[in-house]
Structure 1
Amino acid sequence: MGTKLLTLFILFSFTLQAQDMAREDYFSQKIGKHIKKFTQESQRAYADNNLERAEFLFDSLINNVVNGSYLDNFKVKKLSGKKSELNDFKKPVFLITYASWCVPGVGEIPALNDLVAEHHDEIDFVVLFWDSKDKVKKATKEYHKKINVMYVDEKENTNNHVVKTMKHSLGFPTSFYIDSNKRILDVQRGVLHAYNESYDTSFNMNYDSFLNGVATLKSLSPNTNLNPVATKIP
């Protein structure tokens, strides 16, 4: 009996080690090797007003370093006060990082709400704020009830390496498209448009951007039961 238990323990330990080896390319590790050079070159590009170069650097970092890595598990708070972690979500995850002082476009939240209403059965939508609980509550009053709103108050989470890496490396608002195995499929920055842009234009720009993220999750997710994305009718 003792020999059988020992054998099972060894096999179980070997399986866990094999899983760790298979998923050793974590986001924090991979981006940590490149973020210093990326930040320096990006700052130089913005200082030279070379927006094309800055965009190229971001896309190169995402395509050559971030995509395909696994997002480290992290623990944050819900508005209810309860703690939650990334691994609690079993569906593909549409994760948006945000801050209350980032003023959304007039059509941004309605566009997101429409997609959440249509796809929440297949995708977990998460908005992670870098802010205090009170500010996050105020900023998310119009969000769809199926959006998982979470926050990181850095005064209380100074030791959370993963979330600090996410914030300080790629900025915000930024969308992460993560499959059910927590592998990053793609990362996109938020839509930028003029502050006084019309509602219709803002809605359509944001809807199309969010829809691309949903399509990425559905087409590249290992879960083949996800329904394809329907094209929006103008």
Structure 2
Amino acid sequence: MKKTFLLLTFLYTSLSFSQKVYYNQAVNSCSAKNDNDLIDKCIKNSYLLNYDFTTLNKETVSTSKIKKSIMLIATATWSAPCWGEIPAINEMVEKYSDKVEFIMIFWDKELDKIKKMAEKLDKRIKLVPAREEDKVATGNLDISGFVHKLDYPTIYLIDQEKKFVNVKRGAATPSKTMTWDQVNEINGKELEAFLAPVLK
């Protein structure tokens, strides 16, 4: 009886582990017709592999060593919504850096432009620029093996078990009809709701 129980436990564990789908596999094999399907049917509930990102300061950030949840922000310095979201992101870092690791990956290879944006960002955010060896093409950014195929800004929320629990696209930005105060309020509320699943 004891041997049977151990065998069943081993089989259950093996089957559970083998059913885990990783992000890159899910994205690259996804037959989604649009971005929303890509997110809902392929990205959500997939798992993060280990990535070693090289930051703007030449430090290595290994996702396998991060014990907190992760907010992975894909951005570009030429995107107005990316700039518009900065105050709200900084607010989230101030409030939740003890529970969430904030990593920002850039489409840009131009370090001067990234450094200009970095001046506006909370210093606790890990900034990861695209390098020459990274694949950069329309609609596809590959940094250290992490494939990003969506527009900018896109934020991925990854829990402590390294599971993708949410994806957020776009942000409000100042315009003739929307002030900075309104933008900050909208973006702040959206990010609070977005982070809620990992703050419980």
TM-score range, shorter chain: 0.7 to 0.9
Find the aligned partners of 1:78 and 1:174 in 2 and give their Cα distance: 19
* 1:20 to partner: Cα distance: 9.4
**Which residue does the alignment assign to 2:3?**
none
**Which residue does the alignment assign to 1:180?**
160
* 1:26 maps to 2:19: no
- Which amino acid in structure 2 is aligned with residue 216 of structure 1? P
Alignment of 1:198-213 (within 5 A): 198-213=179-194
More strand by share: 2
* 1:110 to partner: Cα distance: 1.6
Cα separation, partners in 2 of 1:137 and 1:20, compared to 1, 3 Å: farther
Give the percent of matched residue pairs that are identical in Structure 1 and Structure 2. Answer: 27
Find the aligned partners of 2:179 and 2:98 in 1 and give their Cα distance: 31
Q: C-alpha root-mean-square deviation of aligned residues, in Å?
A: 2.6
* 1:26 to partner: Cα distance: 0.6
- Which amino acid in structure 1 is aligned with residue 125 of structure 2? I
* 1:72 maps to 2:49: yes
Residues 168-199 of structure 1: CA deviation (Å, up to 9, x unaligned): x2222101000112110011102145634201
Cα separation, partners in 2 of 1:87 and 1:211, compared to 1, 3 Å: same
- Which amino acid in structure 2 is aligned with residue 214 of structure 1? L
Residues 100-131 of structure 1: CA deviation (Å, up to 9, x unaligned): 11124665222221121111111111111122
Alignment of 1:118-137 (within 5 A): 118-132=95-109, 133-137=111-115
Q: TM-score, normalised by structure 1?
A: 0.68
Find the aligned partners of 1:134 and 1:82 in 2 and give their Cα distance: 18
* 1:23 to partner: Cα distance: 6.3
Alignment of 1:86-125 (within 5 A): 86-104=63-81, 107-125=84-102
**Any unmatched runs of 5+ in structure 1?**
1-13, 39-56, 220-234
Find the aligned partners of 2:165 and 2:49 in 1 and give their Cα distance: 14
**Which residue does the alignment assign to 1:149?**
127
* 1:215 maps to 2:196: yes
**Any unmatched runs of 5+ in structure 2?**
1-9, 136-141
Query: How many residue pairs end up in the alignment?
Result: 181
Residues 183-229 of structure 1: CA deviation (Å, up to 9, x unaligned): 1001110214563420111101110111112212224xxxxxxxxxx
